[in-house]
Amino acid sequence: MPTIKTNGINFYYEERGSGEPLLLIMGITAPGAVWNVHVADWKHHFRCIIGDNRGVGLTDKPAGPYSTEQMADDYAGLLDSLELENAHVVGCSMGSTIAQQLAIRHPKKVKSLVLMCPWARCDNYAKGLFQHIMNAKARFRPEEFSLYIQLLIFSKSSWDDAKQHEDLENGRRIDAFNPFPQPLHGLEGQAAACINHNALPDLGQINAPTLVIGGKEDIFTPVWMAEEVAGGIPGAELHLYDKLGHAFHFENTEDFNARVRNWLSRVPVA
């Protein structure tokens, strides 16, 4: 299994496809395998590099708290280990906060940014929400915790659709028997990074072409957060999906995969 040493931890990653490097950074609680439905498309166009974040999956899970700066340095070390000068970077949710810090702290390593359901800072509501995620993880059975996360990230349109509703039920059944569950301290470390992330004063330093994508019905990271990020990065583009939530990339995978692929293909060659 491909593991490298970076920033003091053993970091697990996978690669698929060929072409320009595309670094994929997933969100809180999620291992890199969650990118599979997107990599199935993108691997035909890019060299997809998928990591398990610090605190989850097959990467080390040291005691926290973690920070988005620290996690960005994890990925900078991964790119160095792969001898890559730069990469396109796609970050989802917490992954978008890590991607922001990667672009701020290591600007030469970031060729372009796609920031999915991002935030530049947490307000008190968001901080309370992350605290409740930790409380739920500590008290719920895995399938109960999965249901809570699903309620946060999927829109009404998914819950009302018979096929998607069945898929959500199947997902909870799978989570009940996950052989690699995230330990509570791993989630707490990631949640601390989410709560304390504040890149708002530094977004203006980002000079990589940037696409910000969100869902208009996102109750986890509301539209104002995506708008604030897009407004803070010079020249950033913003696309918001109608009637979709935090998991818009699963709710309309076909459009999302093509939209990101086509946008990346238009990024000028350095």
Number of domains in the chain: 1
- Asked, for residue 194, whether it belongs to a domain, the answer is yes
- Asked, for residue 190, whether it belongs to a domain, the answer is yes
Question: Residue 87: which CATH number?
Answer: 3.40.50.1820
Q: Which of 129, 68, 154 has its CA nearest to residue 137?
A: 129
Give the pLDDT of the chain (270 residues) as one tens digit per residue: 699 999 999 999 999 999 999 999 999 999 999 999 999 999 999 999 999 999 999 999 999 999 999 999 999 999 999 999 999 999 999 999 999 999 999 999 999 999 999 999 999 999 999 999 999 999 999 999 999 999 999 999 999 999 999 999 999 999 999 888 999 999 999 999 999 999 999 999 999 999 999 999 999 999 999 999 999 999 999 999 999 999 999 999 999 999 999 999 999 865
* pTM over cut 0.95: yes
Dihedral sign for Cα atoms in the order 164, 187, 140, 216? negative
- Asked, for residue 270, whether it belongs to a domain, the answer is no
**Domain extent for 150:** 3-265
- Asked, for residue 40, whether it belongs to a domain, the answer is yes
Q: Which of 45, 48, 58, 83 has its CA nearest to residue 2?
A: 58
- Asked, for residue 129, whether it belongs to a domain, the answer is yes
C-alpha 67, offset from chain centre: 14
C-beta separation of 79 from 25 below 8 A: no
d(CA 198, CA 151): 26
Q: Which of 101, 125, 75 has its CA nearest to residue 229?
A: 101
